[in-house]
A and B are shown apart, each in its own frame.
Chain A
Amino acid sequence: GENVEQHPSTLSVQEGDSAVIKCTYSDSASNYFPWYKQELGKRPQLIIDIRSNVGEKKDQRIAVTLNKTAKHFSLHITETQPEDSAVYFCAARRNTGNQFYFGTGTSLTVIP
């Protein structure tokens, strides 16, 4: 099956700095990679996603990059703000068997 590893597990940055979270996956058949943000006590919410036919996608301060050869994808948050503080999960969908796997999460703290 698929194995999604996520690093780091915790990340603290100063407000205004950038934050980068990385995920690796094992199954080359995986073709869809979403990122979710989960604030404390709340539900996960999709913030950005990327498909395997694209190398990079941006949405304002958030970007995701995908390296299919190396089987890793990363979330980049620029100009971080205190409201970016949350747990971020990456995920990978394996097309074969239609399976969905999450990373273990990164707790991001943005220090004002």
Chain B
Amino acid sequence: DSGVTQTPKHLITATGQRVTLRCSPRSGDLSVYWYQQSLDQGLQFLIQYYNGEERAKGNILERFSAQQFPDLHSELNLSSLELGDSALYFCASSVTGSFSNEQFFGPGTRLTVL
């Protein structure tokens, strides 16, 4: 157990819908990262937050957005969902905002878009 929690574990929804994925970092970690893992795209970095502010942006679609709240938990919002958005979404956390600090991954949320 890495100490990072993600909810829900599974999510099944329809195309065009909107969902919110939630992540709570390890105690003391200030940075949260979101990743998407799909069969055809592999593991992709989406976005990073540090102490409430966006720090880095990767291959995140405009239909997706995220935020980090004052209590440091983070939410990833996915809207206008398409079949291709079906994937495993991981959240990770680290102590500082540097990628070269070890990131601890959560168990992931499996999103299925029908």
Q: Using CB atoms and an 8 Å cutoff, list the residues of chain A in contact with chain B.
A: 31-32, 42-46, 49, 51, 89, 93, 97-105
Confirm or deny: B99 has a beta carbon within 8 angstroms of a beta carbon on chain A.
yes
Q: How far is the CB of A111 from chain B (nearest CB, A)?
A: 25
Q: Using CB atoms and an 8 Å cutoff, list the residues of chain B in contact with chain A.
A: 2, 33, 42-45, 48, 55-56, 58, 90, 99-100, 102-103, 105-108
Q: Is the CB of B107 within 8 A of A93?
A: no
Q: Is the CB of B56 within 8 A of A104?
A: no
Q: Is the CB of B43 within 8 A of A93?
A: no
- Given A32-B99, A44-B105: A102 and B90 interface contact (C-beta under 8 Å): no
Q: Is the CB of B108 within 8 A of A43?
A: yes
Q: Is the CB of A98 within 8 A of B43?
A: no
Give the docked Cα–Cα distance between A48 and B83 (Å).
35
Of A43, A89, A93, which is within 8 A of B100 by CB? A93
Chain B residue at smallest Cβ distance from A51: B100
Contacts of B45 in A (CB 8 A): 99-102
- Given A89-B43, A105-B42, A105-B43: A100 and B99 interface contact (C-beta under 8 Å): yes
Q: Is the CB of B58 within 8 A of A99?
A: yes
Q: Is the CB of B90 within 8 A of A44?
A: yes
Chain B residue at smallest Cβ distance from A92: B99
Q: How far is the CB of B1 from chain A (nearest CB, A)?
A: 10
User: Which of B2, B55, B90, B99 has the most CB atoms of chain A within a 10 A radius of its CB?
Assistant: B99
Contacts of A43 in B (CB 8 A): 2, 90, 105-108
Chain B residue at smallest Cβ distance from A44: B105
A/B interface sample: 11 pairs, CB < 8 A: A43-B105, A43-B107, A43-B108, A45-B2, A46-B103, A97-B56, A98-B56, A98-B99, A100-B99, A104-B42, A105-B43
